[in-house]
Amino acid sequence: MIRNPRQAPWITVIGGANTSDEIKKLAGEVGELLAKSGAVIVCGGLGGVMEAVSKAAKEADGTVVGILPTESRTNANRYIDFAIPTGMGFGRNFLVVMAGDAIIAIDGGWGTLSEIALAKNLGKKVIGLKTLEIGGIDIVSSPNDAVKLALDYALKKISRRENKDR
């Protein structure tokens, strides 16, 4: 397990703020698996998928960064370790996807669609779990598959970056 946040893979998890219990359960499984792997989890810091992934990650001793659309850290869900207020509204979606080495999309609507589009324009790997099925997304059927694919990609990206810096 990687514990140094500067060396760890950073995985962004995006998804709906208003979602079903089934989706929250899947997001929780993703959060737990990512935390146990030593990844840093990045999300939008609010409710729904974001809160479910954050809660499970915290229960598994993980680290969670929330990049908020508001101007106040107090708007973050209670499981966020590092709340970054932006005051940017949906404009913060760029920062959310930029921070991750790979992106896992779970459920979601227009905000998630905008994050997927930004991620693809930035050349980011996007893994979809019960989300919008559009070109350029690797659709998987389980939290385990989503986390494995995201970590495999992120670790290869980190390795390439480290080799380039030498």
pLDDT (tens, 9 = 90+) of the chain, 166 residues, equals 556 777 899 999 999 999 999 999 999 999 999 999 999 999 999 999 999 999 999 999 999 999 999 999 999 999 999 999 999 999 999 999 999 999 999 999 999 999 999 999 999 999 999 998 898 999 999 999 999 999 999 999 888 877 776 6
| pLDDT, position 162 | 72
Domains of the chain and CATH, by start = 10-165 (3.40.50.450)
| pLDDT, position 157 | 87
Q: Quote the tokens at residue 28.
A: 């929780």
| pLDDT, position 6 | 76
**pTM (2 d.p.):** 0.94
Which residues contact residue 3 at a Cβ distance below 8 angstroms, ignoring those fewer than 6 apart? 38
Query: Rounded to an integer, what distance in angstroms lies between the CA atom of residue 145 and that of residue 155?
Result: 15
Residue 29 DSSP SS3: helix
| pLDDT, position 3 | 64
Q: Quote the tokens at residue 26.
A: 């899947």
Count H helices and E strands in the chain, helices first: 5, 7
| pLDDT, position 10 | 97
Residue 70 DSSP SS3: coil
